[in-house]
Amino acid sequence: MIPYTKPDLDGSEIAYITEALRSGHLHGGGEFTKRSERWLESRLGTHRAILTPSCTAALEMAAILCDVGPGDEVIMPSFTFVSTANAVVLRGGVPVFVDVRPDTMNMDEDLAAAAVTDRTKAIFAVHYAGTMCDMERLVAVARPRGAMVVEDAAQALLSTRDHRHAGTIGDLGCLSFHSTKNVTCGEGGALLVNDPALAARAEVIHEKGTDRSRFLRGEVDKYSWRDVGSSFVPSEVTAAFLLAQLERADAIGEERRRIWDAYHRALEPLETAGIIRRQAVPAACEGNAHIYFVITRTAEERSALIAHLRARGISATFHYVPLHSAPAGLRYARSAGPLPVTESLSDRLVRLPIWSGLDPEPVIEAVLSWSRSPLG
Ligand SMILES: *Cc1c(COP(=O)(O)O)cnc(C)c1O
């Protein structure tokens, strides 16, 4: 079976992990943590990068830094992972869902602007499939109203728009290094603090609500409880794994790009024939080839395509079940208006396998043979 995804490991991870174990410094904040954070800061261009145990944890820190409280609204797409919404709900806030654009499956910027109310505390933008939202537009919507902007860049490490990196344009950005993402340490994440005014508080929240970071730098002679916080520090073993992967991030990206481009070229005739629509990437964007998706004409044809590929040993898969109609979405969130694009396209989207070393030809052949009889 050709899997949908597979991490790209080359053994350099083991060397760094061994070094971390031998150092005896196992909790976070050691050399590997510092080197990973400096790599992210210099490569992406952000004031401060802070490693976290997951992107979920980074989103939770972001919601605290946005001061989301009971009844505050946060605008976001319904077509996203649960963590984008949970981070807000955990603070007592209300996710306000807006529809996505059919080309990128990212939040529609016009609808986000229209969803702003007196209670809007923040906009959480999600860069689906590694294609960036129009951040300048979203920042321009939020800023005059005193709302913050957070980028859920879980899928978008090294993606750019107008040559600026995903996660570095809003006030805060959140990255994931889960094993399904391009660069991984099994489970991991990072908070990018783009607004320097938020950095001191981010450090405190990160260290269980204490000023332990200042204590370790010798700036205070003991540390104490200053603010809310939690256990948001990953271990040095995780950071060692991550640094090895970050140092290979470009090579991993090139491998994925090779497969993404092959799919995009080979499937163009199917788009011309009106059988599928291919993922679209706006001209200003350079994606990181995290996901390659196509949209079928109907939900039935989507099921037939997935079954056709499965019968040929290929794992292709749908993606998010929209949050607005899920049980917790009905209980904790609201929609700004109808979400017809989300509802229709989430039923028709298929992701094709993409990972380093994959031969895309059998997958392309199988999609082409499906297209001759799209209902199976
Ligand atoms: C993967 C993902 C997350 C969660 O990342 P974890 O590191 O697993 O917590 C959040 N949001 C989006 C859009 C994701 O794709």
Residues whose beta carbon lies within 6 Å of some atom of ligand 1: 54-56, 80-81, 83-84, 126, 152, 154-155, 176, 178, 189
- Residue 48 is predicted with a pLDDT of 98
**Distance of CA 224 from the midpoint of ligand 1 (Å):** 32
Residue of 139, 108, 136, 111 lying closest to 123 (CA atoms)? 139
Going by CA atoms, what residue is nearest to atom 8 of ligand 1? 178
* Cα four-point dihedral sign 270, 289, 345, 352: positive
Q: Quote the crossing angle between the two packed helices 55-65 and 82-89, to the nearest 10°.
A: 40
Per DSSP, the three-state class of 199 is helix
Going by CA atoms, what residue is nearest to atom 2 of ligand 1? 154
Ligand 1 nearest atom to the CA of residue 176, by list position:
7
Residue 102 CA from chain centroid, whole number:
19
**Distance of CA 319 from the midpoint of ligand 1 (Å):** 13
| pLDDT tens figures, 330-340 | 999 999 999 99
Ligand 1 nearest atom to the CA of residue 54, by list position:
7
Q: What percent of the chain has pLDDT over 90?
A: 100
Whether the CB-CB separation of 23 and 31 falls below 8 Å is answered with: yes
Alpha-carbon distance of 165 to 148, in angstroms, equals: 18
Q: Which residue from 172, 176, 180 has its CB within 8 A of the most atoms of ligand 1, so it is best to mutate?
A: 176
Per DSSP, the three-state class of 108 is coil
**Distance of CA 55 from the midpoint of ligand 1 (Å):** 5
Q: Which residue from 5, 51, 52, 56 has its CB within 8 A of the most atoms of ligand 1, so it is best to mutate?
A: 56
Task: Kindly state the helix (H) or strand (E) to which residue 254 belongs, with its residue range.
Answer: helix 249-266
* Cα four-point dihedral sign 117, 142, 47, 244: positive
- Residue 184 is predicted with a pLDDT of 98
Tell me which of 3.40.1210.10, 3.30.465.10, 3.90.1150.10, 1.20.210.10 is the CATH number of domain 249-371.
3.90.1150.10
- Residue 285 is predicted with a pLDDT of 98
Instruction: Provide the pLDDT confidence category of residue 248 given band limits of 50, 70 and 90.
Output: very high
Question: With 90 as the cut, is the pLDDT of residue 61 above it?
Answer: yes
Token pair, residue 355, equals 């990972």
**Distance of CA 232 from the midpoint of ligand 1 (Å):** 15
Residues 6+ apart with CB under 8 A from 331: none
Indicate the DSSP class of residue 165: E
**Distance of CA 275 from the midpoint of ligand 1 (Å):** 31
Question: With 90 as the cut, is the pLDDT of residue 190 above it?
Answer: yes
Token pair, residue 236, equals 């040095």
Residue of 197, 204, 250, 248 lying closest to 225 (CA atoms)? 204
Question: With 90 as the cut, is the pLDDT of residue 376 above it?
Answer: no
Q: Which residue from 76, 83, 124 has its CB within 8 A of the most atoms of ligand 1, so it is best to mutate?
A: 83
Question: With 90 as the cut, is the pLDDT of residue 42 above it?
Answer: yes
Whether the CB-CB separation of 96 and 363 falls below 8 Å is answered with: no
Instruction: Provide the pLDDT confidence category of residue 128 given band limits of 50, 70 and 90.
Output: very high
Alpha-carbon distance of 49 to 203, in angstroms, equals: 10
- Residue 23 is predicted with a pLDDT of 96
What Cα–Cα distance (Å) separates residue 264 from each residue in 90, 250, 273, 316, 348? Answer: 40, 20, 15, 16, 18
The residues of the chain that CATH labels 3.40.640.10 are 13-246
Fold of 13-246: Aspartate Aminotransferase; domain 2 (3.40.640)
- Residue 122 is predicted with a pLDDT of 98
Indicate the DSSP class of residue 231: B
Token pair, residue 214, equals 């200042």
DSSP string, 27-88: SSSSHHHHHHHHHHIIIII-SEEEEES-HHHHHHHHHHHTT--TT-EEEEESSS-HHHHHHH
Q: What is the largest distance, in Å, between two alpha-carbon atoms of the chain?
A: 73
The mean pLDDT value for 135-163 works out to 97
Alpha-carbon distance of 368 to 309, in angstroms, equals: 10
Whether the CB-CB separation of 110 and 141 falls below 8 Å is answered with: no
Residue of 167, 123, 127 lying closest to 143 (CA atoms)? 123
The residues of the chain that CATH labels 3.90.1150.10 are 249-371
Report the mean per-residue pLDDT for the chain.
Answer: 98
Going by CA atoms, what residue is nearest to atom 5 of ligand 1? 55
The mean pLDDT value for 267-273 works out to 98
Residue of 166, 218, 212, 174 lying closest to 193 (CA atoms)? 174
| pLDDT tens figures, 70-115 | 999 999 999 999 999 999 999 999 999 999 999 999 999 999 999 9
